[in-house]
Every structure is written in structure tokens, then in C-alpha cells.
Chains A and B, each alone.
Chain A
Amino acid sequence: MEHDPKSEKRLVGFAEDVPSLTVEHLSKGYRRRRGQGIVHAVDDVSFVIPAGTAVGLVGASGSGKSTIARLVTGIEKPDTGDIRFGRLSIAHAPHRSLRELHRKVQMVFQDPYGALNPVHTVGYMVSRPSINYLNMSSAQAAKHTEELLERVGLSPPKQFVDKLPHQLSGGQRQRVVIARALACEPQLLIADEPVSMLDVSLRAGILRLLADLQRDSGLSLLYITHDLLSARVLTDHILVLNRGQIVEQGVTKEVLQHPTDPYTKQLLDALSTPEVVLNPRTP
């Protein structure tokens, strides 16, 4: 897919001809630090994220969710199996094609405090991908950055471009992380627990932003979480992961309403939802 930096009317974050992500028989093991043997972090996992859909990957810590994120973004190589994004093979990509991968697949991290360099301004961080990957001039990148900030709800953008991370609230920082991930106009966004470190009062706002971006730009979204509520709000399909294996999958609402796997039931039972939380009163 060729990008035309001259086109002014490009919608921010717009992605054309989004391919689907295909993961086949993916396995990854880590050697134990002490003692013998290998931990099978990801064990023969296969799934497809059709173009423009939002898929949730849920499971408790240690279920292999984040390892899958690291494999799909090419940070780590699988032991066996294949990951393809359109024609691009992620699992077996030679080093030089990683650039194309990074341009198409971007990640939103869990910790908005750790994901931003404390000495760089918001404007610098959000404009770098446009300059590096889209070959924009600094003037174009500055304009693009303002559009991105506006898009993620940091408005007016002029108020934010010169700010340093410590001058922002947690929710604002996560919006900057999202804006930066969108800057090189990716086709697949991987969000690893993007709201787990934010206040509950901010969660719905960030989830709504991700849902809007996904719908409006036709992005594919892999949403990784242990929080079933946010998975329900954001995704069409979910995959339930336990000990590196997919134990249940399907339409999010159906899986949560009628879980068949004992582990999915255990995840649902662990929700502490007092009655008031089950039946929220309206104002």
C-alpha cells in the first residue's frame, strides 16, 4: 500500500485495504530460570482477526496474552507457527521488513507512565512516526500531530504539543500514547491492557475513543485484557486464553452470557459485582 504524503484530506488514522491477521499454530516457550524444563507461554494458538474487526484476547496473568502481543508485533520470534498480516509474514520476517511491519502494526501499552519518554514533549513524540515512516516534512508532521491530538480528544492541540508527560494526567498520557500509535497510520492496533492503570472514571472515555477509532478508520484491533467488562464493550469476538491455549472463542456477548469452558466461568465468577454494580441506577 503506497502512502501519498501530499494528500491533505486524508482522514487521520485512515487505513486502506486492511488485510486480516492470521495466526497459525503459534508456539513459544521460555526456559525456566531455575530447574529444568520449558514454560509453554503460547501453545499451538491459531486465530484470525478479519480486516476491520475488534477481537479481545482475555485471560489471567500468565495465560500468554502479552507473549502473543510480543509475537504479533515482531518483538519476539515464535518457536513454531506462522503469523501473517496480509502478505507480510511477521514470524519469519527478515530484519529489513520489520520497518514495514512497524508501520502497519502499532501498539498501545498498558502503562502510560512508562511508555512515554519523560524528557520529550508531546509534539515531538507524536510527530516522530509521521516523519520516520510517512516521510513528512516537519511542517506537515506538525499539522498531522495537531490533527491526531484533536482526534484523540486532546483539544485544543496547541495546548498539548509543548507539554511534557509529567504535566499530563494518566488519561491524557494514554491518549498521547494512542495518538502516537496512530501517527504512522497503522492497519492493526494492538492494545495491551490500555485502561487497567487508569481510574474507573476515565476508562469508558478511553474505550469509547478506541471503539470510535476502530470503527471510523477501519482499523483492526487486538485488545488484550483480563477485564471482561471492557472486552465486552470494545470487541466483537473474544478468545479466552488459559495456560497458553485458547480454551473458548466466539461472539463476545454470547461467550460471556453462556460460557462453556470452566476457566471462562472462573473468570466471570471472579468479578466482584455487588448488586448496585449489576443494576446501575440511572440519574
Chain B
Amino acid sequence: MILLEAKGVNVVYQPGRGERIWAVRDVSLSLEEGEFVGVVGESGCGKSTLGFALTQMLQPPAFLESGVIEFRGVDIAGLRGEGLRHQRRRGFAVVLQSGMNALNPVRTIHHQIGDVLQAHKLGGEHWSKDAVHDRGVELLGMVGLDSSVLGRFPHELSGGMRQRAAIALALALEPELIVFDEPTTALDVIVQAALMEMIKELQRARGFTALLISHDMSVVLDATDRAIVMYAGRIVEDQGSMQMVQGGRHHPYTEALFRCYADPRADDVVLQDIPGSPPDLSLPDSSCAFAPRCTIAEGRCWHERPLLAEVGSGGAIACHLRGSSEESAMEGRQGGA
């Protein structure tokens, strides 16, 4: 059963009279119920903007230029006001990058949980102080926090605890979809590992659909069922995380990202970067956006934009050389060698 389906999503940033930035370009994707999907890419590739677009959280100067976003079959793209609130109530929640910025600095965690419950209460529901307290203790328990955290202010919590509190808030209304936007970026390795482990367990136990947005390939592949790689506003690869890990055919950008990682315990550690920088998103892309940084780009990569095409095992790749049919992939390898 498909929970969320996006078709042809385009998001544009237009600051004042400035030029238009096409941050998300013709993105289509669907999230199955209970699926854990990751989105990876460099800064500015449109991954967070996509997350905001899917949850109707875009703020000016960003706006949805075109596209359909269906949540349980209802197009939420045009929803405003009460209609949107109704969808958000039980529909989706977002966990932002920095717990500090997502939490209100002058209210205790207890008050903030109360705010969420009150703001979205259904008709006839009443949240007394005690009821909020009980629900708060329950929510904090889910994210591994002690009930004493309820009476604290965000600044009294460590970075990891703040992020857990933010997740508890996201869980408060039992949403069907939770978007995690770089949930571990500001945290150190040990806290990050523990938090990701907790997110994985919560997702398995509670069965919500999760979209994890991260620049960190290793975090995404470790946690998710399926990974989407974005480059310059477009999806360039969409494959099962296991397939990604096991090798096989990949977009050259995905492969380049892999080479940015290594095991520090190895005998020889070779770390590579991706020379060059992503293209200017105010310009249209009539060729492959990655071609200038690609090691195997050839003739048509410079003239024709590759479309996202299915490869075996249910994945899809947008590359003239690695995508489409098996033969052209072989030709591509020979041509690129």
C-alpha cells in the first residue's frame, strides 16, 4: 500500500526579484507503508527541500512550482489552513537537523509536548496537566529519556538528548510518516550511533514510514531499506540499500560518493573527493548535470539529459552509460574505459 506518492515535483526558490533557483527538478517517488527510505546527496542537491515539499513545509522564498503530492490518495499540494492541519494531525511529522533549533528555548519539554497535544486535539479530547505528564513520560520512555527530562528546558539537555526530545515530540501524535532531516549531523560518533540505532528500533516497533535525509551515505545505507541519491535537484539513483551495499551497477555519482569513505582500520586508506562542484541551479539542465565531474562521461552525456530508467532488481538509475539496458551499459563501460 502506497502511503505517499509524489509526481513531477518542482520546487523553486525565488528571493525577491532575484533569479529563480530550481532546487528540486521533476522528482517522482513513492513511499510504501512502513518503508524506511533514505535520501543522500551533497549540500544543495535539494534533499532537504524535497523533504519539506513532501510535508508541505516549504517557506517563502521556496514554493512548489508544480507537481502532485498524494498522501493516502489525497493531494496535499494545494492544501492550506485547516485542511493541511487535518492531514498533519495524524499524518506526518518532521525531525529537524538541530534539536536546539526545533525546540522552543523558553518552554520546558513538558510544555512543548502539551502544546503539540493541545494544538492537534480531536473534538472532545481534553489534555489535563496530568494527562500530558503521563503521555510525556510514555513518549520520553520510547526515546530512552528519563521522565525527569519533562521539567527541563532545551538548554539543560545535551545535543543527543535534545534530538531524542525532538523525536519524542514527533511521535506524540503517532504519525504515519516521519521525515528525519539530518537527525544526527551535529552529534558526535558515539551519540550518533546510539541515536540511529534507536530510530531504527522505533521504526521497526511502531511501523511508521520513515524518510531519512542525510549527507552521510554510511548512515543511510546502514538504516534504510531503500536509498535515493540526489544530484543537482534530481534523483539519479533509487535502489534497495542492500543492492547498493552489495555492489552491482550504480550511477557514477553514487560510486564517487562511496569512494569518499574508507575504513580507518584498513592497511591502506585511500580517501577520495569529488573534484569540481555541483552546477548552478538557476540554469536549466539540458545535459547530464554530473557530466563535468564524471570520470566516464562521453559524447551524449554532454548533450542529452539521461532519464531515470529501471535497472534490474527494482532499482532505477539516470545515466546514459550505467542506466537503461544491459547492452548500453556494456557499451558504456567500453566507451568509458
Contacts and interface: CB of A to CB of B under 8 A. Distances in A.
Interface of A: 60-62, 169-171, 199-205, 207-208, 226-233, 256-257, 266-278, 280-283
Interface string B21-35: 000000000000000
Contacts of B307: none
A267 B190 contact: yes
Interface stretch (B6-14, B66-74, B240-248): B240-248
Contact of B265 (A171, A200, A205, A256): A256
B295 interface: yes
B215 A273 contact: no
B101 interface: no
Given A199-B215, A272-B218, A277-B221, A229 B188 contact: no
Contacts of A232: 264, 269
A205 B273 contact: yes
13 contacts: A60-B188, A61-B158, A199-B43, A200-B260, A202-B273, A226-B189, A229-B261, A256-B265, A267-B189, A268-B265, A272-B216, A273-B263, A283-B255
Given A272-B196, A277-B258, A204 B264 contact: no
Interface string B290-303: 00000110000000
B189 A274 contact: no
B193 A274 contact: no
Contacts, number: 122
A233 to B, nearest CB: 5
B271 A204 contact: yes
B222 A60 contact: no
Interface of B: 42-43, 158-159, 187-194, 196, 215-219, 221-222, 244-247, 252, 255-266, 269-275, 277, 295-296
Given A276-B247, A283-B296, 20 more contacts: A61-B191, A169-B277, A171-B277, A200-B216, A202-B274, A203-B260, A204-B260, A205-B275, A208-B273, A227-B189, A228-B189, A272-B222, A273-B263, A274-B222, A276-B246, A277-B261, A277-B262, A278-B263, A281-B258, A282-B259
B273 A229 contact: no
B217 A200 contact: yes
A231 B269 CA distance: 11
B193 A270 contact: yes
Given A204-B271, A267-B190, A280 B218 contact: no
B178 to A, nearest CB: 20
Given A272-B196, A276-B246, A231 B264 contact: yes
A102 to B, nearest CB: 29
B260 A273 contact: no
B194 to A, nearest CB: 8
A233 B269 contact: yes
A170 B43 contact: yes
A280 B189 contact: no
B258 A203 contact: no
B261 A280 contact: yes
A276 B221 contact: yes
Nearest to B222: A272
Nearest to A170: B43
A204 B190 CA distance: 22
Nearest to A63: B188
Contacts of B259: 280, 282-283
A131 to B, nearest CB: 31
A94 to B, nearest CB: 36
A259 B269 CA distance: 17
Given A170-B43, A203-B273, A276-B246, A266 B190 contact: yes
Contacts of A61: 158-159, 187-188, 191
B257 A201 contact: yes
Given A169-B277, A204-B273, A273 B190 contact: no
B274 A201 contact: yes
